Amino acid sequence: MKIGYSFWGFLGAGITDTPDGGRSHRATLIDGLIAAGHHVVFLQANRDLDEARDDLGGRYTWEQGLPDIDVLMCEWRWPIPGRNTTACGTPGHTCDLHRQDQLLAHYTRDRHLPTLLWDKDLQLSGDHRLRQADNVTVCEAALHPRAGAARLLFPVADAALDNADPVALATASRDLPLVYIGNQYDRNAEFDRYFAPVAATIPHRIAGKWTSTQRWPELNFTGRIPFPDVQPLYRRSVATMLLAPDRLAACGQFTQRLPEAVLAGCLPLAPAYLRSADRVVPEQLITTDARTTRATLTALTRALNTTDHVDLITRCLTGLEPFRLSRQLTALTQLLEHVQEQARGRRHAHGPATPRRRR
């Protein structure tokens, strides 16, 4: 089928000054859909070309108009004051929300086209009118989606999992005991409880957008890094910390940081407040406070290059199995078939829509 896909971000390396975490999994999903025989056309601006000057080898198709499609799929965008809520042309304005509104009005409301909304940040309110539309399916990247939502996890390429070598990852040189890659958004309390007291006593690095760091003068904040630098930083690090806002933690939503770290052999420490943490990391890597974080990290450092280290990495790789691309493609295919079947049922019940007269 022809899928109109709306996303605000990049498929390639993109630019450094952007919060787009989708770069680690978006192309994986899109390439999987194309390999499965679907035609995908992108309906937002081509930021890879416009901002990063990357044409991605001409592999993909963008369309700024309103082409004929079978299904609309949107990575859900929400109002961000001062950014996408301002008038077009205003300094700092991004048009992702305006474009999404246009797509939803044209395809979802006016043409009643089957629509998938992938709420990757759990920002779509429970009472939003779109949740009640009979042609809309909401997907969430959580092990425990909220009521009425389907599960669509951030995919990890099958080849990446199949080719990962725990022995090679365990024997790699790791000179940095602790790293955190990610932005500050809604994480201060958890950062204080689990990460900051430990980081203050050992070599570490914190990469990402942290705009208010005065309360942690002893910590090493180095700002955002280019996307290609993420994997090398994880490869030289013993461990990282998985932190998430409460709305994600309560649903068992694990961000792209989990597979990024594990595939580089960097062990993910998971605070116990993350729901179903024991489904994705070994029990030894679950922590309840800074004291247990420190003890765990000490034990991990002592176990470097041992069979215990290899075993932990192996078990972390096994924990990524629920995120395997082939599983996500199966889930997405079932959703696409379901929404199309619903659309056929509506057409059969109500008859063909009356064509609109062109003006």
CATH of the domain at 283: 3.40.50.2000
Report the 10 Å Cβ neighbour count for 41: 15
pLDDT in the model for residue 358 = 35
If asked whether residues 188 and 147 sit together in one domain, one would say no
Q: Tell me the pTM.
A: 0.92
Does some domain include residue 358? Answer: no
d(CA 312, CA 223): 30
Task: Give the domain extent around 202.
Answer: 158-322
Does some domain include residue 62? Answer: yes
d(CA 339, CA 243): 34
Per the structure, the count of domains in the chain is 2
Does some domain include residue 356? Answer: no
If asked whether residues 318 and 331 sit together in one domain, one would say no
d(CA 151, CA 136): 14
- Residue 136: closest CA among 116, 107, 111, 112: 116
pLDDT in tens, the chain (359 residues): 999 999 999 999 999 988 888 999 999 999 999 999 999 999 999 999 999 999 999 999 999 999 999 999 999 999 989 888 999 988 988 999 999 999 999 999 999 999 999 999 999 999 999 999 999 999 999 999 999 999 999 999 999 999 999 999 999 999 999 999 999 988 999 999 999 999 999 999 999 999 999 999 999 999 999 999 999 999 999 999 999 999 999 999 999 999 999 999 999 999 999 999 999 999 999 999 999 999 999 999 999 999 999 999 999 999 999 999 999 999 999 998 888 787 777 766 666 544 433 33
**What are the backbone angles phi and psi of residue 48, rounded to the nearest 5°?**
-55, -45
If asked whether residues 86 and 196 sit together in one domain, one would say no
**180: β partners:** 206
User: Which CATH number belongs to the domain containing residue 100 in this structure?
Assistant: 3.40.50
pLDDT in the model for residue 350 = 64
Task: Look at strands 115-119 and 39-42 and give their pairing.
Answer: unpaired
If asked whether residues 135 and 276 sit together in one domain, one would say no
If asked whether residues 142 and 168 sit together in one domain, one would say no
If asked whether residues 95 and 197 sit together in one domain, one would say no
Both structure tokens of 343: 């659309």
If asked whether residues 224 and 235 sit together in one domain, one would say yes
Does some domain include residue 332? Answer: yes
Radius of gyration of the chain (CA): 22
If asked whether residues 330 and 268 sit together in one domain, one would say no
* CB-facing half-sphere around the CA of 233: CA atoms within 13 A: 21
